[in-house]
Amino acid sequence: MLFKKTVMKNCDPVIKKFTTFDNTAVDHGITTRFTSEGTPFNLGFNTCDPSEVIQHNRTVLYGKLLRGPERFIWANQKHTSRVFVVDISHGGAGAFSCSNAIPEVDALVTACPNLYLCILTADCLPVLLYDPACRVVAAVHAGRRGLAGGIIENTVSVMGNHFGSRPDTILAGIGPGIDKCCYRVDEETGRSFLSQTGVLPADGISGEVHLDLKATCRRLIMEEGIPADRIETMPECTACNNSVFFSYRGDDSKTGRFATYIALV
């Protein structure tokens, strides 16, 4: 897909939601590539748009959610398995610059109300966790390296150790990401993924090796004790649907990022 340059103007972001979190005490959402007016809505710094465009788009998002930037917390993601617990003192981290985002973590957890945990993706999986019993939420950036490194296990563990969450009370949402149809890797990467996750790579055409991140993520969530009927997976492949979502592979690496957020209300 030819990348369309972002234009700064007033716009209305399109927000997708999990049905799993309907009628619960959380506000959450997943932004898309374009606003309702067709304007590109890139939210990721250090991508294809200048910083002032990203700052403008984030300001639009904050306005859409009727919250000030001090209520948002962004991670400076590095494909790690590190989890960070945030509170009101971290409010505004990364709101208008990646230089003051929470450094080198790929999952954020909080029990503080009205703090929006935000992650960015463009093929990796955005994962949201919510424990209504203990009132704690988490936003997770789960790519191949994060899943293999234990980002799901670490996040569920932090929710339990810090806030007393039990896996059987947690609700989980796996958002849009690259699907096995489009995620071809070399044999060595496939073998490494198998050894680290225990999940067999999917077979592609002509003996190609493909990874199924969504199935892997769902399995890892269930292995932590979260029941299958409390897990929702959005079906969209970002690479197949790069007219709706930014996709690193679908756009030959020249692309933006969409945001996934969650907050206790």
Tokens linked to 26: 């959380």
213-223 and 151-163 helices cross at what angle (nearest 10)? 30
**Within the chain, where are the H helices?**
51-64, 144-149, 151-163, 187-197, 213-223
- What pLDDT does residue 201 have? 76
Report d(CA 202, CA 179) in Å as an integer. 10
- What pLDDT does residue 198 have? 81
In CATH, what number does 15-177+232-264 get? 3.60.140.10
Amino acid at 60: V
Q: Angle at CA 20, nearest 5°, toward 19 and 23?
A: 80
Single out the residue of 190, 229, 230, 197 nearest to residue 215, CA to CA. 197
Phi, psi of 43 (to 5 degrees): -115, 5
Single out the residue of 89, 42, 94 nearest to residue 72, CA to CA. 94
Report d(CA 10, CA 171) in Å as an integer. 35
Report d(CA 48, CA 2) in Å as an integer. 12
SS (H, E, C) 139-175: EEEECHHHHHHCHHHHHHHHHHHHHCCCHHHCEEEEC
- What pLDDT does residue 208 have? 79
Single out the residue of 113, 131, 121, 115 nearest to residue 71, CA to CA. 115
Could you tell me the residue ranges of all domains in the chain? 15-177+232-264
Distance of CA 7 to the CA centre of its chain: 24
Single out the residue of 256, 263, 257, 265 nearest to residue 73, CA to CA. 263
As averages over each run of 10 residues, the pLDDT of the chain (265 residues) reads 50 95 98 96 96 97 97 97 98 97 98 98 98 98 97 98 98 97 91 85 70 96 98 98 97 95 98
Report d(CA 160, CA 131) in Å as an integer. 10
Q: What is the dihedral of CA 48, 51, 52, 56, to 10 degrees?
A: 80
* Exposure class string for 171-195: b at 16+ Cβ within 10 A, else e: bbbbbbbbbbebbbbeeeebeebee
Tokens linked to 265: 């209300």
CB of 258 closer than 8 Å to CB of 33:
yes
